[in-house]
Amino acid sequence: MDFLKSAMDRVKPEFERLIRRELGKMTKTNEKIHVLADESLGGIKREYVEVDRKAEVGDKIVIVDKRYPGDIYENGDIFTVDREAPPGSGFVGSDGAASDMNTGGLIYLGEYRVLEPTNIAHIDGPDGPERYEMVDRKPEIGEKVIVTESDDFPKGFVDSVKEVDDFHDNGSFFLVNGVLGENFLDAEYEEYRVLVPVESSEEEPQPSDPIDVIANLATRVAELERENKRIKDEIDTLHKDNRRHGEELEALKYAAKETDGKVAHLEADSDMRLFTAEEVAALLNAMRERR
């Protein structure tokens, strides 16, 4: 059953990833993507999308409709929200937007869009940056991972999985390179994401309408269901084999018990019917004397 649970855990995030990807295709033409360094990932480049909502402290925002010529910022400039003025109003302040005319760095609601991070990261490859989706699941040998929380590895550290820890079934593994002699990532105390390569737009056809999206999802779901059925069939076969072997073992035990009983019975009969050595000797002597 642990094997089935592991397989289902593997299928579920893959299915969710496919849904996100297909839905992303539907809105891709309306999205404006920004590639920015994410300090929570050690400066790794990450894709952000523009969202029309009120910003909160710590959010990244992009200016889309500058209203006052005297402000030092321009459309396309990106800032981090340092305060809300007042809270909940949608008006925000950023030290980076402050000037002699606008000492509080005030940015009005409607002038900006919030930049929300996606799961797409840009990782340096041999031919330049490559796009990967960060997926929350257990890795397989050879897959790339990115560290998101650890005392042993820096945030944003990228490496490949050398060996999976089979002793603890919690997603722990050994890295190919590691850091300063440390190459074991303990998933009980450290966090990571698996890096799944994102298909390029040239390789991946874009659906023209939701019907294409549903068709693609249905095809993939059917494949996952077939894989799930295959795994269940294998498990059922193992259970049947175990049950058959158990029945055969019980039959052997019963036969052994019957054999032990017969042997004991024969021994008992032998004790009643056979003469002792002394009795045989005395009988032979008596027969000689008669002659």
pLDDT at 267 over 70: no
pLDDT in tens, 121-180: 999 988 889 999 999 999 999 999 999 999 999 999 999 999 998 888 889 999 999 998
> In Å, what is the CA distance from 290 to each residue of 6, 125, 145, 281, 282?
90, 113, 103, 15, 13
Q: What is the 3-state secondary structure (H, E, C) of 139-167?
A: CCCCCEEEEEECCCCCCCCEEEEEEECCC
Query: For the whole model, what pTM was predicted?
Result: 0.58
- Segment holding 262, helix H or strand E: helix 210-273
Q: How many CB atoms lie within 10 A of CB 121?
A: 25
Compute the average pLDDT of residues 241-252. 74
Average pLDDT, the chain: 81
The reported pLDDT for the residue numbered 146 is 95
Residues 6+ apart with CB under 8 A from 229: none
Q: Check pLDDT > 60 for residue 55.
A: yes
**Is the per-residue pLDDT at 15 higher than 70?**
no
Higher pLDDT, 288 or 73: 73
What stretch of H or E contains 121? strand 112-125
Give backbone dihedrals phi and psi of 216, rounded to 5 degrees, phi first. Answer: -65, -45
CA distance 83 to 97: 12
Q: What is the pLDDT of residue 166?
A: 84
pLDDT digits (tens, 9 = 90+) for 223-234: 777 777 787 777
pLDDT at 285 over 80: no
Query: To which H or E segment does residue 62 belong?
Result: strand 60-63
pLDDT recorded at residue 201: 45
Q: Are 55 and 114 in contact (CB under 8 A)?
A: yes
Confidence of residue 85 (pLDDT cuts 50, 70, 90): confident
The model's confidence at residue 58, banded by pLDDT at 50, 70 and 90, is: very high
Q: What are phi and psi of 30, to 5 degrees?
A: -95, -5
pLDDT of residue 204: 46
pLDDT tens-digit map of 88-97: 899 999 999 9
CA–CA dist 79, 95 (Å, integer): 9
